[in-house]
Amino acid sequence: MNIEYINPFIEASQTVLKQLTQLDTKLGKVYLKNSPYQSEDILIMVGLTGKIRGQAVFSINRPFALKIASIMMMGMPVVEFDEMSKSAISELANMIMGNAATILYNRGINIDITPPSLLVGENMQITTSKMKTVCIPLEFNENEKIDLDISTEG
């Protein structure tokens, strides 16, 4: 995958996460994932169409997803993954992807994004047939991270 396609996702993720959560994000080592691959127990999937065709998958463990939802809801305690916290986490992914789409557009690369789909489960496995997946690890603390997997055709 072209690096000029990946950098806007990194830039948008770090900017939006800092603005919404005030948490500093460190970029981990970006790498290719082989399909199928295991994910965390909270997934937010956003489809990509246009110049880049594929999907973006945000993978977060439940405790960190609850922490982010709490921060996004002005510190309100969040102890369960209910409709409000699901909405907050989905909106975070939507804002990151919208920001990335804008950055790409400003660089002459038009993409459209689909509304986010949230999946909750255990031992989930993702298969991206005929697509290459680049993992962008966004690290916060020792056990707090979000993997942003960008899977594209070609």
**Domain at 149, CATH number:** 3.40.1550.10
Residue 12 pLDDT greater than 80, yes or no: yes
> How would residue 77 be classed by pLDDT, with cut points 50, 70 and 90?
confident
pTM for this prediction: 0.92
> In 3-state terms, what secondary structure has residue 74?
coil
Q: How far is CA 120 from the centre of its chain?
A: 14
Tens digit of pLDDT for each residue in 21-56?
A: 888 899 999 999 988 888 889 999 999 999 999 999
Q: How many domains is the chain built from?
A: 1
Domain that holds residue 98: 3-153
CB contact at 8 A, 111 and 98: no
Does the pLDDT value for residue 1 go beyond 70? no
Among 1-5, 79-83, 112-116, 122-126, where is mean pLDDT lowest? 1-5
Q: Residue 74: which pLDDT band, with cuts at 50, 70 and 90?
A: confident
